[in-house]
Amino acid sequence: QVQLIESGGGLVQAGGSLRLSCVASERSFYYMGWFRQAPGKEREFVARINWSVGRTNYADSVKGRFTISRDNAKNTVYLQMNSLEPEDTAVYYCASTNVPTTNRAGYDYWGQGTQVTVSS
């Protein structure tokens, strides 16, 4: 069973930056995604990356501000978040899948999540 461990969350002022990390116990899947869930809202797709070729996809709400990347040697995926807004406040989760989907139902393994809080 794949284990995913996120880190890097915290409290930041609007306009600031954070970098999240997700370490995978193994790389037996094709894609890693980041999702987020704000209080009272459904978990939503943020970004996705293909492990082998590095192709990326982003939600419209984060395009131009967030960047997903990976380090294959470390089995680690990153989410660099710039120009953060209070609306970005949420618990951020990484998840793995073998299919090119942005639907959370298509992801097989999930991390425990890391809290990101953006103050205005």
- If DSSP states are collapsed to H, E and C, what string results for 38-106? CCCCCCEEEEEEECCCCCEEECCCCCCCEEEEEEHHHCEEEEEECCCCHHHCEEEEEEEECCCCCCHHH
What is the model's pLDDT at position 28?
A: 86
pLDDT in tens, 56-65: 999 999 999 9
pLDDT tens per residue, range 1-29: 899 999 999 999 999 999 999 999 998 89
- Residue 87 phi, psi (nearest 5): -70, -10
Distances (CA, A) of 63 to 33, 58, 81: 15, 6, 10
Name the residue among 22, 7, 18 with its Cα closest to residue 75: 22
